[in-house]
Amino acid sequence: MKKFLWSLFEMFETLVIAIVAVLLVRSFVTQPFLVSGSSMEPTFNDGNYLLVDELSYDFRVPERGEVIVFKYPSDPSSYFIKRIVGLPGETVVIRDGKVSVRNTGGTEVLNEPYVLQSDTTSNVERTLGNGEYFVMGDNRNFSFDSRSWGPVPAKNIVGVVRFRLWPLQSAMAFSTPHY
């Protein structure tokens, strides 16, 4: 009987340790995110299940081209997924479907092969302040983003998308595109 009780205790102890480990990782390292809508097509589709790295931005700043999950500035209870286009201190210019970024190094027209459709109707020029990021969806004609409601404050950024887990045939890791 002692062996049975000891085995039962060991199983319970293992289960508790596993649950605590999962809760710690989920709370401080990664967070699951379910894509809702078509604003990030073709990169992410409605129903994709992603893992968001919440830890990286504690050690470095976000980079242009990274896909992030953030709290919507007008309603922090809502979470959005978009791609970073403009960084703090830069001026983002959108004309005729082309996105340009102006900073101390000059002006650069972004090469965005991941964009599904260019929005040729939006003409935007926005200079970003400290801690502000300009974000856009990859499906520009169907994306509610910084063109509509302005930049995302750094404090609203939850993390960077690292993995797509679902659907299984599309599972993969993501890296930052280089411009």
- For the annotated catalytic residues, the residue numbers are 39, 82
117 by Cβ neighbours in 10 Å (0-12 / 13-18 / 19+) ranks as middle
Query: Cα–chain-centroid distance for residue 148?
Result: 18
Separation in Å, CA 89 to CA 74, 95, 111, 130:
22, 20, 20, 6
Is the Cβ–Cβ distance between 126 and 134 less than 8 Å?
yes
Which of 132, 121, 48, 50 lies closest to 87, judged by CA?
Answer: 132
Locate 127 and state its tokens. 């200079």
Which of 84, 76, 81 lies closest to 45, judged by CA?
Answer: 81
